[in-house]
Amino acid sequence: MASKDKQQGLSWIEWLKGSSHLIYEVLFQRLTSSHLKTPLPLPPLNDITCIVTGSTSGIGLEIARQLAESGAHVVMAVRNPTAAHSLIQKWRTYKPSNASLNVDVMELNLLSLESVVRFSESWNSLSKPLNILINNAGIFSIGEPQKFSSNGYETHMQVNHLGPALLSVLLLPSLKRGAPSRIINVNSVMHFIGYVDANDMNFATRRSEFSSLKGYSSSKLAQVKFSSILQKNIPAEAGISIVCAAPGSVQTNVARDLPKIVQVAYHMVPFFLFSPEEGSRSALLAATDPDILKCCTKLKADETPVCAYISYNCHPMSPSNEAHRTGTSQLVWEKTLDMVGLPADAVEMLLEGKEIKCRYGAHPN
Ligand SMILES: NC(=O)c1ccc[n+]([C@@H]2O[C@H](COP(=O)([O-])OP(=O)(O)OC[C@H]3O[C@@H](n4cnc5c(N)ncnc54)[C@H](OP(=O)(O)O)[C@@H]3O)[C@@H](O)[C@H]2O)c1
């Protein structure tokens, strides 16, 4: 295992296997999901509070709307609060029964770790239980050159993994208060072609090798690896379960950076692509189905702990071989905590009700 952990990237066989998952998803997702209803029927969620990141567009918008329509108190954690407020207005006027939807908006920009800390501090200061955190917001800047956030991190890695990881850890006190609670990460089958070098998660020393495809798939794999160790480090008594969910290939604004000609082709294949409503099913199932918790418990007891993963057709699935390499997952865990400015014992401290300092928190003048 140790020597395998020293490899520098995916072998071509692993890459081919990973690519076949993507091709299979696009070609057969509609067929293999034909048993699912759209929208997915949800139980009444009247006493449930959920935070949904990136809920102004695509899959996140559908997740937030359907949770709210099922009675949940939904907090839209978004970088454009004006867009979120006009959506709520639309939902409330769209159906008479939606007049009393319980939806709030809070600002969150995952490109700024300071914004993540501010969001978490203001939510935690309410001392309210949080039952479901859905880390949905994500970017895939297809074909764009490598970019870095104001915190100095590669943008896919920051928005898709580092920001959500910091948010999940900082919200643990509220999630413990809301137990049994869940963290749902909207992941991607693209993690199958991802590879994370824990010593260079920022692609700083491999800039010439960078592509948006590598940035995206690595960030999604890093999320699975981090989630597995986070789940392992949360004691069962805390009652917090973590699930990654693949939405399928979904027609959303995620392709907004594609060249115009490719966007036209993308919109011409609706038969193969899911609608956002169809793409929201796996995350909604992961967030609300009581049976998912059994799957988390089983995986927790497993010798090679890897977090629960739900596929686009709402079945539990095994993540990639890379996700199962616990040696590198532990390194990704340690490196992530360091990059987001958290102490190594942050999880234990927060679950014991103790205060911690994050490097990206407010500093006294
Ligand atoms: N579509 C697919 O085929 C597909 C496949 C696999 C996985 N996924 C995953 O599904 C999730 C949702 O994507 P989508 O397809 O619904 O794309 P989308 O329509 O582009 O929605 C992405 C959402 O994330 C928000 N967001 C982007 N950058 C952010 C930031 N810095 N801070 C806070 N919010 C930010 C966006 O806000 P703005 O509206 O303000 O930009 C938007 O609300 C992502 O994690 C994506 O990786 C999608």
Question: What is the tens place of the pLDDT at every residue in 71-110?
Answer: 999 999 999 999 999 999 999 998 989 999 999 999 999 9
Check whether 340 has a pLDDT greater than 60: yes
pLDDT (0 to 100) of residue 242? 96
Domain range list for the chain: 4-351
Query: Would you state the pLDDT for residue 151?
Result: 98
* Rounded CA separation 91/68 (Å): 10
Share of the chain above pLDDT 90, in %: 80
Q: Average the pLDDT over 48-68 and give the result.
A: 98
Q: What's the rounded Cα separation, in Å, for the pair 191 and 299?
A: 19
Mean pLDDT, residues 259-282 taken together: 82
- Report, as residue numbers or ranges, the catalytic residues: 216
Question: Looking at the chain, which runs of residues are DSSP E strands?
Answer: 49-53, 73-78, 103-107, 132-135, 181-186, 240-245, 308-310
Q: What is the spatial distance between Cα 10 and Cα 14, in angstroms, rounded to a whole number? A: 6
CB of 108 sitting under 6 A from ligand 1: yes
Q: What pLDDT does 365 receive?
A: 44
Q: Are 176 and 159 in contact (CB under 8 A)?
A: no
Q: Which pTM was predicted?
A: 0.95
The tokens describing 112, both together, are: 């700024």
pLDDT of residue 21: 94
Q: How far is the CA of 63 from the centre of ligand 1 (A)?
A: 12
- What residue type is 161 in one-letter code? H
Relative to the CA of 108, which ligand 1 atom is closest?
Answer: 33
Tokens of 96: 């008479």
| Distance of alpha carbon 237 from the chain centroid | 24
CA distance 107 to 78: 5
For the stretch 160-209, pLDDT in tens is: 999 999 999 999 999 999 999 999 999 999 999 999 999 999 988 878 88
Instruction: Report domain 4-351's class.
Output: alpha beta
pLDDT over 70 percentage in the chain: 92
Distance 199 CA to ligand 1 centre (A): 27
> Is the pLDDT at 1 greater than 70, yes or no?
no
Asked if 58 contacts 253 with a C-beta cutoff of 8 angstroms, the reply is yes
Residue 60 beta carbon below 6 angstroms from any ligand 1 atom:
yes
